[in-house]
Amino acid sequence: MLVLGIETSCDETAVGIVEDQLHLRANVIASQVDLHARYGGVVPEVAARAHLEQLLPTIDTALVQAGVHLSDIDAIAVTAGPGLVGALLVGVSAAKGLALAHDRPLIGVNHLRAHVEVAQLEHGMLEPPLVALVVSGGHTSIVAMGEDGTFRQLGATIDDAAGEAFDKIARFMGLGYPGGPEIDRLARDGDPHAFAFPRAMRDSGNYDLSLSGLKTAVIRELRRMDAAGEEPVLADVAASFQEAIVDVQVEKVLRAASDEGYEQVLLAGGVAANSRLRERFAVACGSNGQRLIVPSVGLCTDNGAMVAASGANLLVAGRHADLDLAVDPNLPLAG
């Protein structure tokens, strides 16, 4: 059973092909990072235009990579949300065209759920219950995946998403875009304890997080040093900022897992590619006796394989979409 997955929710035009839910046959990404870099963020109209130009060639490349023809594909899966509405519509429209052309089922996929389920390609079918941290440029939430596979939101950022904070601080520091990988790289040579940046809502008693105060504190510190004529060691700033973000997430996620009595923790989404986040979770889960499930870096950032994997699960569950499938820019993970 072959499922082709199309992902166009943000700034990657991506297509993946998965066989029998578990086997990755193709994973092709046409990145638009260079197009958006000069704006320091994703520009929706630029993204939508680029998706339209890149999608057909990306589908072609994926079919070649898998060594199959479109007529061999059993179902077409596509991200229906959340994401940028104009960008989502390009992928969903193309998916409908493919489904119509070969009379195959269309499957609407939740992008956030797909970030979680992509782990099955490397670790086998997930065996919930587990607690997942879904963390990306547009999203930072802690969710419980129950035994029946349903998601329940435990907490979320009340302001900036982690990836957004990385981008904004990187931009302020004059680093490249996207900010996450730049800060990750710079932080490797820095002292994570050089600056005591705030860990907001650490003792809030719930699983919500707040990152905008941290962002403001970093900017204020850089401005203060500038005014005082001090030369900031950017590696130290990056490392300390990153450590603060990682600290809060490790703490809240592990507390959630132990409160729920779950023994597995899963990291998902683009920010889960952050090396410090992965390292700290590995240590923390190890000492807590929890199993940590993390996709490889290439499957954390947006890709088509995750859509194909999640779509394959829905196909097996008999959950097809109709041809009038609407995009939902605010599609929630829970439910």
Partner 1 sequence: MLVLGIETSTARSSVALVEDDHILASAALGVPRRHGEFLAPAIRFCLDQAGVGIDRVAGVTVGVGPGLYTGLRVGIATAQAIAAARQLPTVGLCGLDVLAFSARYTERRICAALDARRGEVFWAFYRPSPGGVQRLDDPRVGSVDDLAAEIDAHGHEVLVVGDAVLRYAERLSETDAQLAGPDLAWPDAADLAELALPRFHREETHPPEALRPMYLRQADAKIGWETRGRLQGGAA
Residues 154-213 that bind partner 1 (CB under 8 A): 156-157, 159-161, 163-164
| Secondary structure (3-state) at 67 | coil
66-125 positions binding partner 1, by CB under 8 A: 70, 81-86, 89-103, 111, 115
Residues near Zn ion, by CB under 5 A: 136, 302
Any idea of the CA torsion for 169, 171, 172, 174, to the nearest 10 degrees? 120
Close Cβ partners of 37 (under 8 Å, ≥ 6 residues apart): 176, 177
81 contact, one of Zn ion, partner 1, none, CB 5-8 Å limit per kind? partner 1
221 contact, one of partner 1, Zn ion, none, CB 5-8 Å limit per kind? none
Among 23, 33, 37, 39, binds partner 1 (CB under 8 A): 39
Binding track, positions 283-312, relative to partner 1; x by CB under 8 A:
-----------------xxx----------
Provide, rounded to whole angstroms, the least separation between the CB of residue 87 and Zn ion. 12
The residue range among 36-44, 227-235, 245-253, 282-290 that interacts with partner 1, by the rule CB under 8 A, is: 36-44
Among 19, 41, 65, 232, binds partner 1 (CB under 8 A): 41
Provide, rounded to whole angstroms, the least separation between the CB of residue 124 and partner 1. 23
| Secondary structure (3-state) at 243 | helix
- In angstroms, the Cα distances linking 290 to 129, 266, 334 are 12, 10, 23
Close Cβ partners of 286 (under 8 Å, ≥ 6 residues apart): 292
Strand order in the sheet with 75-81: 23-31, 12-19, 2-7, 75-81, 106-110
Residue 34 in contact with partner 1, rule: CB under 8 A: no
| Secondary structure (3-state) at 172 | helix
d(CA 284, CA 236): 23
266 contact, one of partner 1, Zn ion, none, CB 5-8 Å limit per kind? none
Provide, rounded to whole angstroms, the least separation between the CB of residue 104 and Zn ion. 25
Provide, rounded to whole angstroms, the least separation between the CB of residue 33 and Zn ion. 14
* DSSP-assigned letter for residue 6: E
Which DSSP string do the residues of 80-102 spell out, in sequence order?
EESS-HHHHHHHHHHHHHHHHHH
Pick 269 or 311: Cβ nearer partner 1: 269
254-283 positions binding partner 1, by CB under 8 A: 269-271
127-156 positions binding partner 1, by CB under 8 A: 136-139, 156
